[in-house]
């Protein structure tokens, strides 16, 4: 049986299925127990023991570990997509010397944002290995009836929701009138 020599230790199943989920659950549980002080004011050791046990129980049951792994992958992809959008948008309308749209008409900014979203959508489709529709298939089949499409569209919806939440926060921040 041949093994893949290019695989690093971070890719081993023991690391990805047990160690990383345990560390994540332990850290989150410990942080929540420390912040809420559920077990007392100076219960750092007790919080650590409870977090350790919860982490061990968590990794011994398969389904929550799989759900957590899928959620972390989903979150990572969504954050990268939002980061790319923010970097490109910052190039067009930032406060630096490379600003293109700052001081322009609001309609131009909206149009550029729509073009940016379409460009990022095509970039994400390309990154997922989606080929553009040809004469033999249609766009609906190419985008929705693929093995990867449910995960992809879940990520797209999550990214849109995050972008909408950021837009609402930025709009409300600008409309408050509290200054610099």
- End-to-end Cα, the chain, rounded Å: 65
pLDDT, one tens digit per residue, over 34-57 is: 999 888 888 899 999 999 999 888
Which residues of the chain carry a pLDDT beneath 70?
Answer: 1-7, 92-108, 127-143, 173-180
Instruction: Compute the distance between CA of residue 156 and CA of residue 83 in angstroms, rounded to an integer.
Output: 13
Residues 70-77: contacts with CB within 8 Å, 24+ apart? 72/24, 74/151, 74/154, 74/155, 74/158, 75/158, 77/155
Quick check: pTM over 0.75? Answer: no
pLDDT, one tens digit per residue, over 83-107 is: 887 787 777 666 555 455 555 566 6
Check residue 30 and give its pLDDT.
Answer: 93
Region of 175 please: left (phi>0), alpha (psi -120 to 50) or beta. alpha
**CA nearest 84: which of 174, 162, 173?**
162
């Amino acid at each position: 049986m041949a093994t893949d020599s290019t695989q690093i230790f971070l890719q081993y199943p023991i690391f990805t299925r047990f160690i990383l989920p345990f560390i994540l659950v332990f850290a989150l549980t410990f942080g929540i127990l420390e912040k809420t002080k559920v077990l007392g004011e100076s219960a750092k050791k007790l919080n650590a023991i409870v977090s350790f046990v919860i982490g061990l129980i968590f990794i011994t049951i398969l389904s929550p570990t799989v759900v957590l792994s899928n959620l972390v992958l989903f979150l990572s992809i969504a954050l990268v997509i939002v980061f790319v959008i923010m970097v490109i948008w910052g190039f067009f309308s930032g406060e630096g010397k490379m600003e293109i749209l700052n001081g322009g008409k609001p309609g131009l900014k909206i149009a550029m944002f729509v073009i940016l979203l379409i460009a990022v959508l095509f970039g994400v489709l390309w990154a997922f290995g989606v080929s553009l529709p040809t004469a033999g298939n249609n766009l609906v089949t190419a985008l929705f009836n693929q093995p990867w499409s449910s995960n992809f569209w879940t990520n797209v919806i999550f990214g849109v929701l995050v972008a909408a939440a950021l837009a609402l926060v930025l709009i409300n921040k600008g409309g408050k009138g509290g200054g610099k």
